[in-house]
Structure 1
C-alpha cells in the first residue's frame, strides 16, 4: 500500500531533534608500525648457520665431498623447479635425465673443466629429448624446452663452482664467491630495509630498492677488496673492488630473474625445505648466475691454476 501523503512523522523530543554538538575528544595517535622482514628470522639464521657449517667443513676437509654437496643441491633444485612447473603450468620437464645429467655435469666440470661441463650439458640435453619421447607427443616442445632451460639454469651454472675448486687455492676462491654473494644480499637487505624509498623493479620484486642496490654494491666491494688481498694467491685489493661490483650486479639480476619466474608461476617460494628461507632454489637464485662471473674474473686476475 502507498503511504498517505498527509501522514505526519511522530514528533521527537527537542533534545533529539537538535542535539548539542559533542565536545571534541582527542583520539590516541596510531602506534607506528614496525617494518617486518616477512620471514621467521630465528629459523632463517639457524638454517643459514647450519648450512654454512656444512659448506665450510666439506670445502676445506675434502674437495670431493664439497663437489657432492653441489651435486645434491643441484638435484634438489631441479626437483623443486620441475615440480613447480608441473603444478602451476602443467609443464612436465623430464626430471630423471635432468637430475642424473646435472649431477654428472658438476662432476665433469670438476674433473675435466669447461670442456667436460659442455659435453655433459650436451648429453643431458640429448637425454632429455629422448626421455620425453616415451610419452605422447602433445606438449613435447614445451616440455623439452623447459627441460633445456632447467639444465642450463641449475646444473650448468653450478658447474662453475666446481671448476673454481680445481685451482690450488680453490677452497678460498669458492669461499670468496660465497662470502661476496652473501654480503651483497645482506647489504641490499640491510640498507634497503632501513633507507629504501625508491623501488628498483616494482613490477618484478616490489621489496627491492635502489638504495638496497647501492648497499649491495658498497658491501660487496669492501668485502671483495679484503678477500682478494688476504685470501687469494696473487690477488690485489683493486681487483676485489671490481669483483665485488660484478658480484653485486649478477646477484641482483639473479634474484630478479627468479622473482620473475616465481611471479609467472604465481608462487612466493620454490619450496619449503629450508625454514625461514623457502626452498633450495630460493637460496641458489643469487649464487647460480654469480658463479660464472666470479670464475671468469678469477681466471683473468690470477689465472686458473
Structure 2
C-alpha cells in the first residue's frame, strides 16, 4: 500500500499552494511545514516521489526516517505476525519418510513382479536381471565419482568384468567369482594406463573398489541360485532385506526419537533399528520354516538378525559415500527410490551374509 491510497492532502513539490501546509488537524505526507522546514523541502519539487524522502516530524520527533511515516503506523505490528514459525515440526516429521510413497510402492511392485517371474520361470533369466542391475549400478557409481570428485574409474572394464563375474559365480561358484574379480582388477589397472599418469593411483583404487562393491557382492546372489531350492533362497534373501528396511522405516517414522548415526544418516533412529531387527527375525523364522528345505524357525531368527545388521550397515555405508560426494541419491532411474544403487545399498552387503548362513545351516 502506497501513500496515495490514504488520500493525503496536496504538498509542496506537487503543485499545492503553500497556504495549505500549516492547516491544523491535517497530517501531511511530506515534511513538516514550519518556516525553516518548508525551505528545506522546496528542492524536492523535482523529485517524482517526494513522500518517500520526508517523514512526519510531529509524530516521529526525529530528523529522518524511512518512507511511510505515521501513515503506516497501524501496519507495523503486522509485519512480524505473518512469519510462519510454528509450522516446522509437521514438515520435518513427514520428511522423515524421505521419498514419494506412491511412486516407491509402484516401482517396488513392478520390480518385484519382474524378479518373481524371472526367478521361478527360468533361473538363467534371473542371472540376466542381476547382470543388468550390476552394470547400471556401476554406471551410476562411476558417473557420480567423476561428476563430484573428478575420479575417472574406467567403466568399460568394470562393466564387462562385472557381468563376467556374476556369470562365473553362477557357473563356477565362489572360485569362479574370485578369479574373475582378480582379472577385472587387472583390467582396470591396464585400461587406465591409456590416459595420462596424473591421479592414476586414485582412479584405479576407485575402480577396484567399485568392482568389489557392486559385482563381486552381487555374485553371491547368483551363487544362492545354484542350489536345488535356489529360487526359494533368493526369495528369502530379498524378503528379509525388504522386510528389514520396511520395519526400520515404519517404526522409525512413527516412534523414532533417538538418532542412530546423526553424522552419517540423520534420518535413522535406534527405534528404527529395533523395528528392522524385530521384523526381520519374524520374517526369517517364517521363511526358514516354510521356504527353505531342511530349515527351522530358530535358524531363521539368527538369519533375520544378521540381515537386519548387514542391511543397516550397508545403508549407512552408502550414506557415507553419498555424503562424501555431496549428493542425496545415486541416480533418478527409479521414481520414489532414486537410482539402482539406492536400492542395492542394503542388498549387496547382505547377499554374502545370507549365502554363508544358508550354507552353514542347510548346506549348498
Q: Distance in 1 between matches of 2:220 and 2:118?
A: 17
- Normalised by the length of structure 1, the TM-score is 0.91
Higher relative contact order (CA 8 A, sep 6+): 1
Pick from 261, 272, 282: which aligns with 1:201? 261
Does residue 33 (structure 1) correspond to residue 33 (structure 2)? The answer is no
Does residue 190 (structure 1) correspond to residue 250 (structure 2)? The answer is yes
Does residue 164 (structure 1) correspond to residue 224 (structure 2)? The answer is yes
Pick from 352, 356, 364: which aligns with 1:292? 352
Q: What is the CA-CA distance between 1:146 and the residue it aligns to?
A: 0.2
Does residue 101 (structure 1) correspond to residue 158 (structure 2)? The answer is no
Stretches of 4+ aligned residues off by more than 6 angstroms: none
Q: Distance in 1 between matches of 2:179 and 2:242?
A: 31
Q: What is the CA-CA distance between 1:29 and the residue it aligns to?
A: 11
Q: Distance in 2 between matches of 1:10 and 1:256?
A: 64
User: After the TM superposition, which residues 52-131 of structure 1 pair with which residues of structure 2 at under 5 Å, given as runs?
Assistant: 52-131=112-191
Q: Distance in 2 between matches of 1:197 and 1:42?
A: 25
User: After the TM superposition, which residues 268-283 of structure 1 pair with which residues of structure 2 at under 5 Å, given as runs?
Assistant: 268-283=328-343
- 129 and 190 in structure 1: CA distance in 2 versus 1, 3 angstrom threshold: same
Question: What secondary structure does 2:90 align onto?
Answer: coil
Does residue 264 (structure 1) correspond to residue 321 (structure 2)? The answer is no
- 40 and 122 in structure 1: CA distance in 2 versus 1, 3 angstrom threshold: same
User: Which structure 2 segments of 5+ residues have no match?
Assistant: 1-35, 37-55, 61-69, 71-76
The residue that corresponds to 2:312 in the other structure is: 252
Question: What secondary structure does 2:260 align onto?
Answer: strand
- 10 and 110 in structure 1: CA distance in 2 versus 1, 3 angstrom threshold: closer
Deviations 1:32-75, CA, capped at 9 Å, x for gaps: 72632232211111101000000000000000000000000000
- 246 and 135 in structure 1: CA distance in 2 versus 1, 3 angstrom threshold: same
Q: Distance in 2 between matches of 1:11 and 1:178?
A: 78
- 12 and 258 in structure 1: CA distance in 2 versus 1, 3 angstrom threshold: closer
Question: What secondary structure does 1:267 align onto?
Answer: coil
Question: What secondary structure does 2:223 align onto?
Answer: helix
- Normalised by the length of structure 2, the TM-score is 0.76
Q: Distance in 2 between matches of 1:258 and 1:186?
A: 18
User: Which structure 1 segments of 5+ residues have no match?
Assistant: 1-6, 17-21
Q: Distance in 2 between matches of 1:235 and 1:137?
A: 54
Q: Distance in 1 between matches of 2:261 and 2:156?
A: 36
- 174 and 135 in structure 1: CA distance in 2 versus 1, 3 angstrom threshold: same
Q: Distance in 2 between matches of 1:155 and 1:29?
A: 48
